[in-house]
Structure 1
Amino acid sequence: MNIPCNWSTCKLPLVAYFQEGPGLRKYQYRDKGIPFLNIRTLINESVDLSLCKFLDEDEVDQKYIHFLLNEGDLVCSTSGTLGKLATIKASDLPLMLNTSVVRFRTLDQAVMLQRFLRLYLKSEGFLSQARLASTGSAQVNIGPSHLATFDFSLPPLPEQKRIADKLDSVLARVDACRDRLDRLPALLKRFRQSILTAATSGRLTEDWREQNAIGNESWHYPMIGNLVAIKNGRAFPSADYADEGVRLIRPGNLHHSGSVQWSAKNTTHLPESYAREFPTFVLGKGELLMNLTAQSLKDDFLGRVCLKTDSVPALLNQRICAFYSKSSSDIRPYLFVYFRSPVFRSYVETLDSGTLIKHMHTKQLLSHVIPVPTENEQTEIVRRVEILFAFADRLDARLATARKQVGQLTPALLAKAFRGELVAQDPADEPAAELLKRLAAQREAAPKAKRGRARA
């Protein structure tokens, strides 16, 4: 990589000290004492002390005192998830290193600023070397021996400060933008839920009823069993699952977006002979399906409803049901709106039996009372919901694009900084080569540690 003429390239150990934590065993863990880091505790460039485990204070004093961290230390994960970073604050102390986490400190603030070292550890220049040097097939890992080989581009000291000041300002704005974008998915979810609430309460089409001189009394409240019949899926033998044949709709195919989705990971087949043997379980396009089993009530998985929008035949597996209108008019489009509404979700939450696996029985579904407008108003409700949801989907797409672009800003700015392109060079700055010479001279002049003879 080309760098400005007053920069210098060196190996990381020439300008920074790094130390990996010790390997600790579970039998050493205590309920109180000195907390120690693990990868999970590094969150948003800070340490979450509530996730720390502890070592006995006496054991730390006797064996691990040199692994205690200091205010301002940089810690970085070097195993599993590479590059999770945090700066140690005074309020974090006392705190100890652990294996898979490395502490970094600049050797001399007159040569390299700690602020600049932090930026290096966030940069692609560091992370790419870490990925290249990492070992392990199941879990990547780097250690001090790898770090000792890393290249480091050192600018003059005043330029380091200019770079750090500039990035602190710009990245703060990037982070603020990212935070605002991260709040939007929840707002869009509430927007969709408010649409569904208005749709199933009559507020969404209140003006339509006024225009058509239809009163609120036109709504009635039957049980679902009076409107539709329910068909439960069949328990097809998993021993016959295959890579090709007729598709099998399973709970994992019911996507939170409201459509049946297929991927290489979630698609299972059965031999075509099953479709011929069980034709009543073969589904086509337009089927309304619901999941009847979940391990928890999170993510609205129990009672999740989807439309099958493709025409490829698929078998209906157990734990999923399909709905069929009892009258000549098809009420399923309106039910698709109602089943996604907060009113129905509140009903599903009352079905929590406290068991590990949550179930919804067809008897409970059939006896559930719902608000139903006239057939013409159902059509209008569905039309308006589809228009508003399409608008929300477009916002989702624009949001995804914006989040991707913002996510690329920080790496791009850091890369620009470490190419020497972020701030202007000043010819009056002392070249980095002189800083390295001074540091080398200090190291040479430092007293050498004496080696004692081993005792017999």
Structure 2
Amino acid sequence: MSWITQKLPDVLFIQEGPGIRKYEYEENGYPMINVRCVQDGYIDMSSARCASMELATTKWKHFQVDEGDILYTISGTIGRSAIVKEADLPLLMNTSVVRFKSLTPDLDPKFVYYYFKTDLFIDELLGHSTGTAIKNVGPSHLKKMDISYPSLEEQKRIVAILDQAFTHIDKARALTEQNLRNVRELFESYLQQVFSLIGDRYVEEALDDACELITCGVAATPKYVDESEGVPFLSAQNVKSGKVVLDKYRHISKDLHAKLTKKNMPKKGDILYSRVGAGFGEAAVVEHEFEFSVYVSLTLIQPIEAKLDSYYLKYLLNSPQIKSLARSSITSSGVPNLNVKSVRKFLITYPALQKQKSVVRSIELMESEIGNLESIYQNKLLELDTLKKSLLQKAFSGELTKNMGEAAA
């Protein structure tokens, strides 16, 4: 069966929304979609703002979105898309999002929606992108691109197969994601139980009394230098899931590092505790033998070795009890900011060192089992994503048969 290849603007109306200035927003105005509103297959207006009703109904009237339009993100995460439903309206376009509207009855909007999700289309589009940290494309780039499509009858057959297959895949994905959440909640529940049943013979005191040092990193953004002449400079993004992650960080000069660490040199066995941003309240033990400095988004904690085992303290800080305490100690209504003074006052309980080490061994065993389960579910998610991509590739190379669709489902 032959497919037709045409330039996108020959069969699709392509439009990007207008830029908007702060004074053009209106609290109860016309809902204006932004790039975060367009999710994978649906529209979420929870982060949207409203444009001036006057502008939306006069100067920007032609940017009003219609049912059946395809919205597509062209900044940041390129390629998230959704078909507009009646329940989503009214909506006004905004910059960083384009809409597509079919100019011919020979092109099914759902077929176009799936076509735009293929790796082939997205990879070609990214080839036109500008920017390094944040990728951007525009209508001018999209207008250079082609779309290939069969007869309308064949388009609808392909869409029906993909709809059925993707419904089953999405259900499997939702179940797998829930299982993954359940596993993580199981570990948190285990931590809560462990630290609730320490026993009668324990010490209860402020964290500051059990530590040699509790301090945050340098507040001012330093001048960064090349890796070859600098020292690693870690921040909150280097503490994830209870580990110090060394896959992304900047460097500062050796002289500045020496100045910053003159009285509080970080060392192996210390705790790095995130204190700023959405991931605040996450602790990890330094397990590497190397010199580094820390940014203000991290708290450096050095436990008194005769009192506290570093790993016991890490798990205690990551337990639901202390996480709750950290949330109640936040000092900012904007970006979360866990004040070091509050951290020093955290009331902690701990048994003798030998008991602490026994507790740590039990937690690590449980953590290993949890990690195995997480790997299984993560691999399942990857397999489901790969299956989706495979089906899309077959669909738009003319290889998707009815039997293939039924097998995928």
TM-score, normalised relative to structure 2: 0.79
RMSD after superposition: 3.8
Moved more, 21-30 or 67-76: 21-30
**Count of residues in Structure 1 that have an aligned counterpart in Structure 2:** 393
**Counterparts in 2 of 1:288 and 1:146: CA distance versus 1, 3 Å:** closer
For 1:253 and 1:72, the matched residues in 2 are separated by: 40
**Counterparts in 2 of 1:102 and 1:235: CA distance versus 1, 3 Å:** closer
Tell me the secondary structure at the aligned position of residue 38 of structure 1. Answer: coil
For 1:310 and 1:399, the matched residues in 2 are separated by: 29
Counterpart for residue 399 of structure 1: 377
Does structure 2 retain, via aligned residues, the 8 Å contact 1:35–1:94?
A: yes
Aligned-residue offset at 1:89? 1.6
Tell me the secondary structure at the aligned position of residue 382 of structure 1. Answer: helix
- Moved segments of 4+, more than 6 Å: 234-237, 239-242, 315-318
Counterpart for residue 437 of structure 1: none
Among 166, 173, 178, which residue is 1:171 paired with?
166
Among 378, 382, 387, which residue is 2:356 paired with?
378
Among 133, 141, 154, which residue is 2:137 paired with?
141
Tell me the secondary structure at the aligned position of residue 347 of structure 2. Answer: coil
Pairing 1:284-295 to 2, within 5 Å after superposition: 284-285=267-268, 287-291=269-273, 294-295=275-276
Among 274, 279, 284, which residue is 1:306 paired with?
284
Among 131, 151, 159, which residue is 1:156 paired with?
151
Does structure 1 retain, via aligned residues, the 8 Å contact 2:14–2:98?
A: yes
For 2:258 and 2:190, the matched residues in 1 are separated by: 41
Does structure 1 retain, via aligned residues, the 8 Å contact 2:17–2:95?
A: yes
For 1:151 and 1:247, the matched residues in 2 are separated by: 49
Does structure 1 retain, via aligned residues, the 8 Å contact 2:8–2:143?
A: yes
Counterpart for residue 71 of structure 1: 67
Counterpart for residue 406 of structure 2: none
Counterpart for residue 407 of structure 2: none
Aligned-residue offset at 1:265? 1.7
Aligned-residue offset at 1:385? 0.9
For 1:248 and 1:263, the matched residues in 2 are separated by: 11
For 1:250 and 1:91, the matched residues in 2 are separated by: 46
1:122 aligns with 2:117: yes
1:53 aligns with 2:50: yes
Among 101, 105, 116, which residue is 2:101 paired with?
105
**Counterparts in 2 of 1:378 and 1:89: CA distance versus 1, 3 Å:** same
Q: After superposition, what is the alpha-carbon deviation per residue over 1:72-124, rounded to whole angstroms, capped at 9, x for unaligned?
A: 22222334443232212222333333444333233343x23222222222223
Gaps of 5+ in 1: 204-215, 426-456
**Counterparts in 2 of 1:269 and 1:263: CA distance versus 1, 3 Å:** farther
Q: Percent identity?
A: 22
Counterpart for residue 258 of structure 1: 242
Aligned-residue offset at 1:321? 2.4
**Counterparts in 2 of 1:268 and 1:183: CA distance versus 1, 3 Å:** farther
Aligned-residue offset at 1:387? 0.6
TM-score, normalised relative to structure 1: 0.72
Pairing 1:309-388 to 2, within 5 Å after superposition: 309-313=287-291, 319-326=299-306, 331-353=309-331, 357-361=337-341, 364-365=344-345, 368-372=347-351, 376-388=354-366
Counterpart for residue 81 of structure 2: 85
Does structure 1 retain, via aligned residues, the 8 Å contact 2:266–2:293?
A: yes
Counterpart for residue 386 of structure 2: 408
Tell me the secondary structure at the aligned position of residue 104 of structure 1. Answer: strand
Aligned-residue offset at 1:196? 1.3
Does structure 1 retain, via aligned residues, the 8 Å contact 2:70–2:113?
A: yes
Moved more, 235-244 or 318-327: 235-244
What amino acid does structure 1 have at the position aligned with 2:364?
E
Structure of greater relative contact order (alpha carbons < 8 Å, 6+ residues apart): 1
For 2:19 and 2:79, the matched residues in 1 are separated by: 21
Tell me the secondary structure at the aligned position of residue 95 of structure 1. Answer: coil
What amino acid does structure 2 have at the position aligned with 1:255?
V
Tell me the secondary structure at the aligned position of residue 245 of structure 2. Answer: coil
Tell me the secondary structure at the aligned position of residue 90 of structure 2. Answer: coil
Gaps of 5+ in 2: 404-409
